[in-house]
């Protein structure tokens, strides 16, 4: 069976017999891990090995949200405790060269942990530019409120992951920073004009449009498509994401189970692919929902398949030896000794 245009989560720390049968038949493009799936290094490595065994391929996208700060599925003290993105701008904002170096080193340390566990994709960097009155769901996950700073530090974060062979996913394209509600709970609407959005919110994504993967925003941009969130909007994806921003990498939806989206899971998945997402993402591992998602997706083909295959080429590039202790020491120096822990 051809790979299916979907990424799935699983329920626990190991695959059940039902999940093994389902995933073997579904053959998703990849998988995503959450805190519920992560208890110990050996357990996670066994789980990612199980995914590869079922897929029958070693080069497999296995995703995680390991941003640092409050979004970290792998917890200290077992794994490196990364600071939130905003901290780099706060400490080194007047020295963008040092801030960029610190962000890249930080991402290398994150990437090092992931490679030891068989995880190949990190949903980082966050390129959203938070507005002053926006919801705190982005908050300190952003590198700052200046689009150019966000772009520069976001680039550094992506390069740090790529240094270790981990694929970055820019999010939440074309921008979640003005949302006044949490899309996990309800659908945000942004009424800012397109001209202003192009000058601010969309700019970091345009600056990083060459990166291999991006995740959509479940946000309605009323000046572009007043009826549908970006994830389900052919207009936003064609005119803004593929058009103005110029992103031609693999485009995945944000999680289909978020309450910003309406309809059955079959409809949520099919609407995302029909709008121009290459892959649908479903995270919570709930079997009934996943079976419904499968009714709305299809095999990867055409440009979506080309983008999916191109993204994976970055994993197979040669990488230089990495010294976690030396990296942590340099980062601590840049941040005045405030970094504390890594397990090599």
Counting every residue written for the chain, the total comes to: 344
Residue 211, both tokens: 């990166």
In angstroms, the CA 260 to CA 183 distance is 5
Q: Which of 58, 95, 148, 184 is catalytic?
A: 184
For residue 142, the Cα-to-chain-centroid distance in whole angstroms is 13
244: which DSSP letter? I
Catalytic: 341? no
Residues 6+ positions from 309 with CB-CB distance below 8 Å: none
**Exposed e or buried b per residue across 98-121, where buried means at least 16 C-beta atoms within 10 angstroms of its C-beta:** bbbbbbbbbbbbbbbbbbebbbbb
Is 25 annotated as catalytic?
Answer: no
CB atoms near residue 77 (< 10 Å): 10
| Residues 251, 252, 258: CA angle, nearest 5 degrees | 145
**Exactly one of 254, 255, 278, 282 is catalytic; which is it?**
254
The CA distance from 236 to 224, in Å, is 7
Catalytic sites, residue numbers: 184, 254
């Amino acid at each position: 069976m051809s790979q299916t245009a979907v990424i799935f989560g699983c329920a626990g720390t190991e695959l059940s017999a039902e999940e093994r049968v389902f995933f073997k038949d579904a053959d998703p493009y990849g998988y995503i891990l959450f805190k519920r799936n992560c208890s110990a290094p050996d357990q996670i490595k066994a789980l990612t090995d199980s995914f590869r065994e079922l897929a029958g391929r070693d080069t497999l996208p296995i995703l995680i949200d390991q941003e640092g700060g409050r979004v970290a599925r792998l917890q200290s003290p077992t794994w490196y405790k990364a600071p939130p993105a905003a901290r780099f701008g706060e400490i080194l904002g007047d020295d963008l060269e040092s801030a960029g170096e610190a962000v890249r080193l930080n991402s290398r340390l994150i990437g090092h942990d992931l490679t030891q566990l068989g995880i190949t994709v990190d949903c980082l960097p966050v390129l959203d530019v938070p507005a002053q009155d926006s919801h705190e769901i982005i908050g300190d996950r952003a590198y700052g409120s200046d689009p150019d700073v966000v772009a520069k530090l976001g680039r550094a974060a992506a390069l740090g992951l790529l240094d270790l062979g981990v694929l970055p996913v820019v999010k939440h394209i074309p921008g979640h920073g003005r949302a006044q509600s949490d899309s996990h709970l309800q659908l945000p609407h942004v009424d800012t004009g397109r001209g202003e959005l192009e000058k601010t919110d969309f700019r970091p994504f345009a600056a990083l449009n060459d990166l291999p993967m991006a995740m959509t925003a479940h946000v309605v941009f009323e000046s572009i498509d007043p009826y549908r969130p970006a994830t389900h909007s052919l207009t936003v994806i064609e005119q803004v994401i593929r058009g103005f921003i110029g992103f031609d990498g693999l485009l995945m939806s944000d999680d289909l189970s978020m309450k910003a989206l309406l309809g059955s899971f079959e409809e949520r998945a099919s609407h995302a692919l029909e709008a121009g997402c290459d892959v649908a993402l479903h995270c919570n591992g709930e079997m009934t929902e996943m079976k419904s998602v499968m009714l709305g997706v299809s095999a990867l083909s055409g440009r979506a398949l080309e983008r999916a295959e191109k993204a994976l080429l970055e994993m197979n590039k040669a990488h230089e030896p990495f010294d976690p202790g030396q990296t942590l020491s340099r980062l601590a120096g840049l941040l005045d000794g405030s970094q504390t822990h890594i397990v090599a």
